[in-house]
């Protein structure tokens, strides 16, 4: 069929293989809170991960059974999903995951790669990058850019004690004493 919209990415796999792949990616995401994969796989896994966290927020028996059907190791991960992750995202209306494009993982295939991560977690990459930018601005005495201010608001909005935790991260980065590269003159 030429043209038209596709409901989902087929990922050059059969239906059973595709479902197994996505379940495996989401199980790894819940366990590790960040995974590095190809961009199309990350986009499809993001859809399933968002649904899984929404099920955890419901916290009823039906939701638990559906979540067990998605995760490969449910007995190991159900307490984390319905405990820590549920509490983390209880006030957030959506957008529990983030995809950040990266350089290709494989030098031979050059497939577009990405990092799929849970937001507001300990491995939140945008949180760390924003803290580094704020520390650099403070060290150099320059004003924050609009993007830095916007990211500061984003990373602290739904995080518990967000401003305090962010300030602690900025202090940690400042103690590392990373200096910007000197340009040749």
Secondary structure, 3-state, 8-50: CCCCCCCHHHHHHHHHHHHHHHHHHCEEEEEHHHHHHHHHHHH
pLDDT score recorded for residue 185: 44
Judge if 170 and 100 occupy the same domain: no
Instruction: Tell whether the model's pLDDT for residue 112 goes beyond 50.
Output: yes
pTM for the model stands at 0.83
pLDDT tens-digit series, residues 128-158: 999 999 999 999 999 999 999 999 999 999 9
Is there a domain that residue 4 lies in?
Answer: no
- Both structure tokens of 163: 């401003």
pLDDT score recorded for residue 3: 60
- What stretch of H or E contains 137? helix 125-140
Is there a domain that residue 71 lies in?
Answer: yes
Instruction: Tell whether the model's pLDDT for residue 168 goes beyond 50.
Output: yes
Identify the domain containing residue 76 by its residue range: 15-118
Per the structure, how many domains does the chain have? 2
- In the structure, what pLDDT confidence band is assigned to residue 64 with cuts at 50, 70 and 90? very high
Phi, psi for residue 132 in degrees, rounded to 5: -65, -40
Is there a domain that residue 79 lies in?
Answer: yes
Please choose, from the candidates 175, 76, 88, the residue with its C-alpha nearest in 3D space to the C-alpha of residue 124.
Answer: 88
Is there a domain that residue 5 lies in?
Answer: no
Mean pLDDT of the chain: 90
């Amino acid at each position: 069929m030429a043209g038209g919209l596709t409901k989902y990415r087929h990922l050059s796999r059969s239906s059973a293989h595709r479902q197994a792949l996505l379940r495996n990616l989401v199980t790894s995401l819940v366990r590790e809170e960040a995974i590095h994969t190809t961009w199309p796989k990350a986009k499809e896994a993001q859809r399933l991960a968002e649904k899984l966290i929404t099920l955890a927020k419901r916290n009823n028996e039906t939701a638990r059974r559906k979540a067990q059907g998605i995760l490969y190791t449910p007995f190991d991960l159900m307490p984390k999903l319905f405990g820590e992750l549920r509490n983390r995202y209880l006030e957030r209306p959506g957008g529990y995951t983030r995809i950040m494009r990266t350089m290709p993982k494989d030098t031979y295939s050059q497939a577009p790669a990405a990092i799929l991560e849970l937001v507001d977690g300990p491995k939140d990459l945008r949180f760390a990058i924003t803290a580094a930018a704020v520390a650099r601005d403070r060290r150099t005495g320059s004003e924050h850019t609009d993007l830095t201010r916007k990211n500061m608001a984003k990373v602290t909005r739904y995080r518990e004690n967000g401003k305090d935790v962010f300030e602690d991260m900025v202090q940690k980065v400042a103690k590392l004493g990373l200096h910007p590269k000197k340009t040749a003159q």
